[in-house]
Structure 1
Amino acid sequence: MTRTLWTARSGAGRRAARTTGAPPALWVATAARGGIHGYTRALEATPLFTDWQVERLVTHDDGPLPRRLSLFARGAGTLLWRCLSARPSLVHLHSAAYGSFARKALLLWAARGVFRVPTVLHLHAGEFETFYGACPPLARALVRATLRRADRVITLSPALAAAVTRIAPGARVTVAANGVALAPAARVLARRAPRVLFAGVLIDRKDPVGLLRAWAACPRPPGARLVFAGDGPLRADLEALAAELGVSRSVDFRGWLDPAGVAAEMDQADILALPSHFEGQPLSLLEGMARGLALLSTRVGGIPDLIEDGVSGRLVPPGDPGALSAALAELLSDQDARARYGAAAYARAAHAFDIRRTWQSLDTVYRTLAQGAPRGPHD
């Protein structure tokens, strides 16, 4: 069962805070399975969490509605108490769209508007502009006001930053790309039947159904396999569809895996496929890049900032089964192309998406906004 609040601190972080008197930073995020949870967990191992004595406050998870309501109420109460009794250096709120944005907006206005604590609103939603367009006029006004009220809005990609600026001119926007820990070198792919991996929640917007249909439609080398590492509402439908299409013997459903399990699947894969309709900057693609996998994805959200089509992977239009099947067939049939794409993806990750760059970007934002910034061994 997820705890409402837990802290990630080390001796080094405590020493830095004692030296400067800087109060902790407070992170507000979800514990639900998905990219935001993976992102926040990855950063717990960096100096950002130790230097700033980050306290992580969970206000949402995968549980039933009564539990989620209770978790949000308790989380909101904890946030208000922290702001009142031990004013944090800042409050960093991690948000998707729709209900996630509404919850984080409420907490942002409480922290910034009532207690005058500096706030960072971190947008992870690739479909944020679509969400805004679907809002009624009053809700749009509240979205704009919230974006402007935040001391800093962080986006994962320049495309999302431009969308935020279009929605709320005057919002203070900074791009801080997702990051991952890099493998020592790009992996040399084995000369064997290729394995295609989908790693993520099995939901409509990630289009695992489209991937399965593309798998069934394209020519496949003997022994090739498609692996779904994830769970979700489409799991049963996918298993039934695999049987209907006659490909059950070449498709594996692993269920939801912990980070070590996902890493093990990536170490066995040759191609990482994510044919999403909406994305911000998916960690699964970055993790594949960090291992030198060939990538197959779509031209949505921040994905084109990760993958250059024909150089570090293949990009196809979302919801285009013919293009997806053709690109998948190309990757399955050409070992040398997989190796080239994987090496280029690894080089791109090393240049732009090393997690060290991520935490340093956030540290720069914190030092700009917060009073009593820590001065430790990383200065």
Structure 2
Amino acid sequence: MRVLHVVTLMSPDGRYGGPVDVAERLARATRRRGHQVAIAAGATGFHGDEPRRRDGVAYRLFRVWGGGGTTRFSRLVAPGLWMWLWRASRSADIVHLHLSRDLIMVLAAMIACARRRRCGGVVVQTHGMIIPSSSRLARAVDALAIRPTLRMADVVLCLNPEEAAQVREVEPAARSRLLPNGVETVPRDRRSDAKRRDAGRAPARREVLFLARLNARKRPLDFVRMARELEQRHPDVVFTLVGPDGGEADRVRSAIAAARSSAISWEGAVPPHAVRARIAAASVYVLPAADEPFGLTTVEAMACGVPVVISAGSGLAEAVESASAGIVYDDTTGGLVDAVERLLRDDGLAQAMGERGRELVERDYSIDGVADRLLELYPDLERGESRFRALWVTNVAAPYRVPVWRELSQLCDLEVALLEDDARLSADVAANRGADWRSDRVRDVRIRSLPTLRVARGEARFYALTRVPRIRQDAVLLGGWESPAYWQLLLVARLTGRRVVGFYESIQRTQRHRRGPIAAARRWYFRSLDAVVVPGVEARDALTAMGVDAGRISVGFNAVDVADIHRRATAAREPESAPGHRYLYVGRLIELKGVDLAIAAFARARGPEDTLTIVGHGPLQGDLRALAVRLGIGADVDFRGPVENADLPEILARHDTLVMPSREDVWGLVANEGLAAGLHVVVSSVAGVAASVSGMRGVFVVAPERDALADGMRASARSWEGPIAEPEILAHDPGAFARVFAAALRPPCARSRSRAREPQAS
């Protein structure tokens, strides 16, 4: 495969910053995997020593004009690059554009999109540079070039959900996918005194380092203010700024001069190849940037085992904080001072955070892992298989379904259409939905609400469209069949030639209508679909019993974000458990869930110090409390009330066995959550999940009866040896489920496009 990266500017001092670093890292990693890779860019500052080939990557650099200074990238022009790209793009399988609002990249993007049919695919990576702007010039550039480029690109790579939302605000049709930046990992024995001496500083003197462009967004003046506060308290520490001028150099010089301290200095820029060694020489790395989309040098510091201090506005803030790989401060100078001083005063804390930062990089931000994810995408683009668009229609934004949508968004251009809007959902007290069910809390999936009329019947909600939308996607997934809205959309999809896929979760035991007109309508509906996705074998059996062709049924495994639950539960778990066995029920307090059976079974099975916690609420709460008192276990049963999904892993971590006593349950995703947290699970044999998890460690499938549940709870307590470290459920994550949906949704034309394409001549 032939891959061409295009970036605005290369220079010996690396003044263009992150996009060049990312392009080079991805290019080297792609080349190591046997592909042909080239980088094309404007060039300045070279004097006959510009690179032609490094690490097997070819460089095509072209002279630039204009700019009026080193920081005016938007005004640079590179006619030679544009003319070369017009010819070269036809022989590339992938053109990878590192896009920004400058003349070089704007015209390069227009050329690549104009030649799109002659190359395999166009990838755009925005690096946080394509955000909504009120500037008239920016709006004009967006209308003429940026928005068409985002629309035509096969995929737009974004660093995080926030950037993806910003890109979609600029162009709603952008096919965004998430791809973090990555760095080469550092062997643990490489951060040595010799490396410090190579960086020009004796190892005996500690250093707090700022390494970035000196521009206003990076806030180098905040670093100087912090240094002035701390340099007298810590005479053994030096505070150094390293990086090219980005418009703030004069102010930084003045602030350093006013400090009158030899401990504070600005060294200027270092060449890109020396950045890692320079960071590794530091004791603490500080990046006080506001609204930093990622922070590649922060990742470099963590890779070297250097503890980091970053602001809450950094795109890495959540990852660093959750991994305890550094300190995230509150965007104030006082907060910055306190954070740096904590690390200077506590060497043990600094070392521990440095090690956790290294582990975080190895797990999530290694360039090899990032390149592998990118190379999974490239072949699909080369074959033209990733350009299909899908519409998923369902009633509400269930929080357990959002991770699957996120993963599916990485495999196709996905839009989710809801039949229930947030305002109506919040006002519906009987629906029993918390704030985590609101769609406006989902920032990394494109979601809209359809205009509907709603009829409530008990707990059921039925919807009819008041205005049938145009379906612009290639395929439609219908998340139900009972509401008229699904039938309306099925008709529109059929009339417009769209592929229609159903999602069916019910099992035969939960079907209300086995005969009669409703059962006949259900059979006709699912037989008419192109494909149906089911979450388990019991739902598959229900469809085949209706006469649906088994070849059109795709069997997945109903999924929640098991990796996140496992990580958070493990982090929250206390090293020593409380005495006794701790049972847990999570769900609604209604008849079908069998909570009364769990309480009665606990009364029979409990040991002297055992407890039962009940999480959830519903109309039977008063009756269940009275039952516990009547059975003499009122003091041992704790009714916690409802909790949001985000708080559930911490609750799971404080318990040993999850009890799911359902009298009837289509699936029972709480079983997935309990297993992901390492718990044992006593699960009702009539729940849809039972057949799919029955062979996993810690699972006890029992009949939904008091004595059978009590036997299962006793067996769980007897065999309990602590949380299961690597539960089998981790293999059944949202990504695996999303791939099942993607395979069912992908139109036949997208599958066969690779066979229809002929390779272009070099």
TM-score computed with the length of structure 2 as normaliser: 0.41
1:223-302 aligned at under 5 Å gives the runs 224-302=610-688
SS at match of 2:643: coil
- Unaligned runs of 5+ residues in structure 1 are 1-6
Q: Does 1:323 align with 2:718?
A: no
**CA distance in structure 1 between the aligned counterparts of 2:599 and 2:753, rounded to whole angstroms:** 50
Distance 1:267 1:278, change over 3 A: same
**CA distance in structure 2 between the aligned counterparts of 1:178 and 1:69, rounded to whole angstroms:** 28
1:159-198 aligned at under 5 Å gives the runs 159-170=538-549, 172-180=552-560, 181-182=562-563, 183-184=566-567, 187=570, 190-192=576-578, 193-198=580-585
| Match in the other structure for 2:529 | 150
Q: Given that residues 105 and 146 in structure 1 are in contact (C-alpha distance below 8 angstroms), is that contact kept between their aligned partners in structure 2? A: no
Instruction: Give the superposition deviation at 1:253.
Output: 1.8
Q: Given that residues 119 and 152 in structure 1 are in contact (C-alpha distance below 8 angstroms), is that contact kept between their aligned partners in structure 2? A: yes
Q: Given that residues 462 and 482 in structure 2 are in contact (C-alpha distance below 8 angstroms), is that contact kept between their aligned partners in structure 1? A: no
Letter in 2 for 1:339: E
| Match in the other structure for 2:729 | 349
**CA distance in structure 1 between the aligned counterparts of 2:500 and 2:576, rounded to whole angstroms:** 48
**CA distance in structure 2 between the aligned counterparts of 1:373 and 1:239, rounded to whole angstroms:** 60
1:48-197 aligned at under 5 Å gives the runs 48-60=408-420, 63=428, 68-69=454-455, 76-77=465-466, 80-83=468-471, 87-95=472-480, 101-103=482-484, 105-127=486-508, 130-133=511-514, 136-170=515-549, 172-180=552-560, 181-182=562-563, 183-184=566-567, 187=570, 190-192=576-578, 193-197=580-584
Of 383, 391, 395, the match for 1:30: 395
Q: Does 1:216 align with 2:603?
A: yes
Q: Given that residues 698 and 716 in structure 2 are in contact (C-alpha distance below 8 angstroms), is that contact kept between their aligned partners in structure 1? A: no
| Match in the other structure for 2:81 | none
**CA distance in structure 2 between the aligned counterparts of 1:102 and 1:67, rounded to whole angstroms:** 10
Q: Given that residues 389 and 413 in structure 2 are in contact (C-alpha distance below 8 angstroms), is that contact kept between their aligned partners in structure 1? A: yes
Q: Taking CA–CA contacts closer than 8 Å with sequence separation of 6 or more, which of the two structures ends up with the larger relative contact order?
A: 1
Instruction: Give the superposition deviation at 1:57.
Output: 2.2
SS at match of 1:197: strand
Distance 1:167 1:220, change over 3 A: same
Q: Given that residues 589 and 616 in structure 2 are in contact (C-alpha distance below 8 angstroms), is that contact kept between their aligned partners in structure 1? A: yes
| Larger deviation, residues 23-32 vs 264-273 | 23-32
Distance 1:244 1:280, change over 3 A: same
Instruction: Give the superposition deviation at 1:16.
Output: 3.8
Distance 1:240 1:212, change over 3 A: same
After superposition, the C-alpha distances for 1:43-81 in whole angstroms (9 at most, x for unaligned) are: 2332x12543422222255826998439965x7245x21
Distance 1:77 1:67, change over 3 A: closer
**CA distance in structure 1 between the aligned counterparts of 2:749 and 2:576, rounded to whole angstroms:** 49
Q: Does 1:40 align with 2:428?
A: no
Instruction: Give the superposition deviation at 1:122.
Output: 0.7
**CA distance in structure 2 between the aligned counterparts of 1:239 and 1:232, rounded to whole angstroms:** 12
**CA distance in structure 2 between the aligned counterparts of 1:274 and 1:91, rounded to whole angstroms:** 34
| Match in the other structure for 1:4 | none
SS at match of 2:478: strand
After superposition, the C-alpha distances for 1:108-144 in whole angstroms (9 at most, x for unaligned) are: 53343444332221112235663342xx422221111
Letter in 2 for 1:76: L
Q: Does 1:200 align with 2:587?
A: yes
| Larger deviation, residues 163-172 vs 225-234 | 163-172
Instruction: Give the superposition deviation at 1:309.
Output: 6.2
Higher helix share: 1
Instruction: Give the superposition deviation at 1:273.
Output: 0.9
Instruction: Give the superposition deviation at 1:210.
Output: 0.6
**CA distance in structure 2 between the aligned counterparts of 1:167 and 1:129, rounded to whole angstroms:** 14
Distance 1:131 1:373, change over 3 A: farther
**CA distance in structure 2 between the aligned counterparts of 1:76 and 1:117, rounded to whole angstroms:** 19
**CA distance in structure 1 between the aligned counterparts of 2:695 and 2:750, rounded to whole angstroms:** 44
Of 339, 350, 353, the match for 2:721: 339
Q: Given that residues 196 and 227 in structure 1 are in contact (C-alpha distance below 8 angstroms), is that contact kept between their aligned partners in structure 2? A: yes
Instruction: Give the superposition deviation at 1:194.
Output: 2.4
Q: Given that residues 275 and 298 in structure 1 are in contact (C-alpha distance below 8 angstroms), is that contact kept between their aligned partners in structure 2? A: yes
**CA distance in structure 1 between the aligned counterparts of 2:392 and 2:593, rounded to whole angstroms:** 27
SS at match of 1:253: strand
- Unaligned runs of 5+ residues in structure 2 are 1-160, 178-380, 432-451, 755-762
Letter in 2 for 1:112: A
SS at match of 1:343: coil
Distance 1:116 1:265, change over 3 A: same
**CA distance in structure 1 between the aligned counterparts of 2:740 and 2:716, rounded to whole angstroms:** 35
Letter in 1 for 2:400: Y
After superposition, the C-alpha distances for 1:177-203 in whole angstroms (9 at most, x for unaligned) are: 112332259958844332211112222
**CA distance in structure 2 between the aligned counterparts of 1:255 and 1:76, rounded to whole angstroms:** 35
Instruction: Give the superposition deviation at 1:371.
Output: 5.3
**CA distance in structure 2 between the aligned counterparts of 1:30 and 1:231, rounded to whole angstroms:** 22
Distance 1:104 1:237, change over 3 A: farther
Q: Given that residues 126 and 302 in structure 1 are in contact (C-alpha distance below 8 angstroms), is that contact kept between their aligned partners in structure 2? A: yes
SS at match of 1:81: coil
TM-score computed with the length of structure 1 as normaliser: 0.77
Q: Name the count of aligned residue pairs.
A: 345
**CA distance in structure 1 between the aligned counterparts of 2:640 and 2:569, rounded to whole angstroms:** 25
